[in-house]
Amino acid sequence: MLRSYLYRLIPPILVLLFVVGIHYYITYGVLEPTRRFLLPPPHSIIYEGFFVPKHRDEIFRALLLTTKVSIIGLGIACLIGFFTAILMSQAKWLERSLYPWAVFTQTVPILALVPIIGFWFGFNITARIIVVVIISIFPIIINTLTGLLGASRDLHDLLTLHKASRWTRATKLMIPYAMPDLFTGLRTSAGLAIIGSIVGDFFFGRGSPGLGMLLKVYGSRLRTEELLSATIVACLLGVFVFWIFSYIGRRMVGHWSEAWSS
């Protein structure tokens, strides 16, 4: 047990050490002292971001806000996406009517929408949640739909032979069949939700600051240490939600789904 954990942990840690080594080399070996602010050494990034109380609190509060916006947005995207997919699975014409609009949420330049969303909904948390929903809903719809339509013709025939109603077909066959795909979609969308919440925040630039606004402020003031520590936090948040949703997926369907069993 412990051995297998070590086997899993050691390789990525070696990669980390390698990257940190290169980082130090660039800071002290490549950059002249006057240009060192471009890439401060790792220890001062960690120190400035996580040990100076003012910065630490700033980043922590921003992290909380970003997390909150992402989770609420993702929850809403999940609900809307799931029911949209179910609707689309019920008739070919519904699928054909809605599919292009689902693709639209993926291809719309979110930067162009941000000002409009701001005008309509103000620059508070609601507007940011809307950005998150738009950015993260597509993988949920598409993955869930693929799953809903994926059950074999034979199983559908079997239900037909026993005169299963539309409801029975959906609840006993299509929805359970789609669960692994739903979780795959959720895992992808979780990462997008965080990007969405940071992007929304970055461009609204008003209201209480999330990680996006913090990144903008630090960037404009050339505070590279804090900028990089906030970036690290944003990445870690992404990794964390990915891990959480992987865990939830394994717990929910890992005992029967080949795709999710480890």
> 208 vs 261, which CB is nearer to another protein?
261
Minimum distance from residue 168 beta carbon to another protein (Å): 7
Minimum distance from residue 157 beta carbon to another protein (Å): 6
Minimum distance from residue 154 beta carbon to another protein (Å): 4
Per-residue burial over 3-18, b if 16 or more Cβ lie within 10 Å, else e, is eeeeeeeeeeeeeeee
> 185 vs 196, which CB is nearer to another protein?
185
Residue keyed to tokens 């001062």: 44
Residue keyed to tokens 């929304």: 200
Q: Which token pair is 184?
A: 């795959």
8 A C-beta contact, residue 48 and residue 229 = yes
Minimum distance from residue 9 beta carbon to another protein (Å): 28
Angle (CA) 184-188-194 rounded to 5° is 145
8 A C-beta contact, residue 80 and residue 133 = yes
> 228 vs 253, which CB is nearer to another protein?
253
Would you mind telling me the total number of residues written for the chain in this entry? 262
Taking alpha carbons only, the member of 109, 249, 133, 253 closest to residue 189 is: 133
> 44 vs 257, which CB is nearer to another protein?
257
> 179 vs 217, which CB is nearer to another protein?
179
Binding-site ranges for another protein (CB under 8 A): 152, 154-155, 157-164, 168, 172-173, 176-177, 179, 253, 255-258, 261
Minimum distance from residue 158 beta carbon to another protein (Å): 7
